[in-house]
Chain A
Amino acid sequence: MLWVDKYRPKTLDQVIVHQDIALNLKKLVTEQDCPHLLFYGSSGSGKKTLIMALLRQVFGPGAEKVKVENRTWKIDAGSRTIDLELTTLSSANHVELSPSDVGFQDRYIVQEIIKEMAKNRPIDTKGKRGYKVLVLNEVDKLSREAQHSLRRTMEKYSTSCRLILCCNSSSKVIEAIRSRCLNVRINAPTEEQIVKVLEFIGKKEGLQLPSGFAARIAEKSNRSLRRAILSFETCRVQQYPFTSNQAIPPMDWEEYVSEIASDIMKEQSPKRLFQVRGKLYELLTNCIPPEIVLKRLLYELLKRLDAELKHEICHWAAYYEHRMRLGQKAIFHLEAFVAKFMSIYKGFLITTFG
């Protein structure tokens, strides 16, 4: 088992970071009338961990006995039937799913399946809880229609069902849904907190950590606990005993984006643009989300630029990411950003150096 899973705290008492939030969650479920919850925060900040620990708090150890199923639903959409496939994780008292996985048909998942699940009373009536819990992941990726479909379900069946929604960016969740939940913000752990977790794992694994080593990993983790633990484990595999100056390997794709940035800075020409396109394609086919690529590219470019150009470049990055969201083919917009950059940068070089 990977360390990220092996050392995931199982109960609200065991968490190392977010202890204050864990304490609050515990109080929140002592009575029967717990509200719907919306957890939001950046990736790897510990949302899922808290949600699972919360379920355990509510339903006891039974909540950990989950069954993973790949299920297919036949949905009658008037003139035709649609087959939808979705993975669910369920215990006697809760079901977890990511409705946005089915793409633009996510509305049907909410209308047909989630409503059905919410309607039915919990199977296990012996348990002291009169409700079951539906955990929905990535609600910020749900289409607007699907989000609207959740609204009334959250009210109508609230006696038999509680929703726990989880997302990265709560700005993408419609107001009407946010108004129906208690919002729980999960901040990314600070570097010091990450160091604490790494030291904890190190101790459990019986490892010797040179001073400053954990801090260096934390610094490179971008405040993502998951990422820090993963690179810690990678370091362990690459070289043990650790040395204090051991390199922390960056992610492959980040290296690659850094190369792209250098390429662009070196030469601005149609030929170079063509080469860069190939590299961008490569990233996309490896399932790196386009907005992540764009943000990383911006990061690399900003590092290399003069102050006066930074404003303009960040403007265009925001501009093309927005266009990308409205359009269909991400590559067009990534490439347009690169072309725009080249033209601005070339213009800058010419006016400065003639």
Chain B
Amino acid sequence: MAPMLQSSQQWVEKYRPRQVKDVAHQDEVVRVLTNTLETTNCPHMLFYGPPGIGKTTTALAIAHQLFGPELYKSRVLELNASDDRGINVVRTKIKDFAAIAVGSAQRQGGYPCPPYKIIILDEADSMTEDAQNALRRTMETYSKVTRFFFICNYISRIIEPLASRCAKFRFKPITEEIMSSRILHICKEEGLNLDAEALSTLSYISQGDLRRAITYLQGATRLFGSSISSNDLISVSGVIPQDVVEALFTACRSGDFDLANKEVNKIIAEGYPVSLLLSQIFDVVVEAEDISDEQKARICKRLAEADKCLVDGADEYLQLLNVASHVMLALCNMPEELNYES
């Protein structure tokens, strides 16, 4: 990379591991792939797990380590959701690449260069079922000379016939301990000061997503300089302050619909993301000691339904108002109308 660009690099990219052994916390896959580097044996792979925990990183690293910079272009095809991967592309581009014959194994410039090519299908959960079906044949026909790496967040979006042909690896959210050690490493490199409280806040707010943790850290550094406190991190993370959640609860307890409606309007005007708010409400409800199990169940059921509606693209205000209304009915032990069920 040109030196001039170095400085405009984002930290997430700057600290992306280049070698499989540097990928943190995903021990199982690291072990298997380290083995691959020695034996050059490699099955089709399927990596799945939530965002920002090293899936893409691992796939790119192994491909680079197997082939080195010289052969990379001719041996690795990386397609992600930003590429058209409709059924046509599967039948043409992917098939053509898969069909190319490659010479026998020959170490080149210190790289193992095994006798196959790798096709990385990143973000594969966005491929249509038809396109996935069209892949089945290609995978089988050319399995001698081509290995497929599928990467996705939701394994359920990968059709069974594809999934069953792969060695599956579930990538785990990064634990607090590992996250802290990665973050401390970056802090050392960048000359930052982070106390223990800030460190644990950072892992809490990023919920196992290392990319998010690094982005927050970089944001906080720009805003607050090289000494970063727990509060600085909270303010860049967009976590909803606890008193906002409390205020909504208090309004619901009052049993006054208009009061709750006003609180909901306020939350929407402040721009707090409702999906996040729902999960924070959930935390409060589950831990509350003065709410009975039945009340908790009523509330949680509604939270789940609202969450699904939001995923479908429903309106944030209406969903939150409806949640507030149900929380109020539950807390005040008012019956729900039976005919609510459509």
Contacts and interface: CB of A to CB of B under 8 A. Distances in A.
Contact of A158 (B13, B126, B272, B317): B13
Contacts of B211: 179-180
A77 B122 CA distance: 20
Interface string A144-175: 11001111110110111000000001111001
A40 interface: yes
Contacts of B83: 111
A33 B313 contact: no
Interface in B29-84: 50-52, 56, 80-84
Contacts of A103: none
Given A78-B88, A155-B56, A188-B271, A325 B312 contact: yes
Contacts of A312: 337, 340
A31 interface: yes
Nearest to A317: B318
Q: Is the interface of B mostly helix, strand, loop or mixed?
A: helix
Interface string A182-202: 110111100000000000000
Interface residues of A, number: 73
Given A291-B315, A318-B321, A41 B5 contact: no
Contacts of B274: 169, 171
Interface in A1-48: 24, 27-36, 40-42, 45
Given A145-B126, A149-B126, A311 B328 contact: yes
A112 B87 CA distance: 17
Contact of B257 (A28, A179, A185, A307): A307
A35 B220 CA distance: 11
A346 interface: no
B51 A179 contact: yes
A181 interface: yes
A315 to B, nearest CB: 6
A188 B238 CA distance: 15
A31 B222 contact: yes
Nearest to B85: A111
A334 B218 CA distance: 46
Nearest to A182: B219
Which of A149, A158, A318 has the most B CB atoms < 10 Å from its CB?
Answer: A318
Contacts of B178: none
A288 B59 CA distance: 47
Contact of B313 (A32, A34, A172, A295): A172
B8 A130 contact: yes
B269 A188 contact: yes
A28 B325 contact: no
Interface string A305-347: 0010011101101110110011000000000000000000000
B314 A322 contact: yes
Contacts of A108: 84
Contacts of A182: 215-216, 218-219, 236
B325 A314 contact: yes
A94 B31 CA distance: 44
Interface in A286-308: 291, 294-295, 298, 302, 307
Interface in A201-243: 223
Contacts of B272: 185
A33 B10 contact: yes
Contacts of B12: 155, 180
A176 B152 CA distance: 11
B304 interface: no
A310 B325 contact: yes
Given A32-B8, A318-B318, A185 B271 contact: yes
Interface of A: 24, 27-36, 40-42, 45, 77-79, 108, 110-112, 115, 129-131, 144-145, 148-153, 155-156, 158-160, 169-172, 175-176, 179-183, 185-188, 223, 291, 294-295, 298, 302, 307, 310-312, 314-315, 317-319, 321-322, 325-326
22 contacts: A28-B222, A31-B7, A35-B219, A40-B271, A40-B273, A77-B86, A78-B89, A110-B82, A130-B7, A148-B126, A152-B82, A155-B12, A155-B13, A158-B13, A170-B271, A171-B276, A172-B310, A180-B215, A291-B318, A295-B317, A295-B318, A321-B315
Q: Closest 3 A-B residue pairs measured CB to CB?
A: A78-B88, A152-B80, A41-B271
Given A41-B271, A130-B4, A321-B314, 10 more contacts: A28-B219, A150-B82, A151-B123, A159-B13, A171-B273, A187-B270, A315-B322, A317-B321, A318-B318, A318-B322
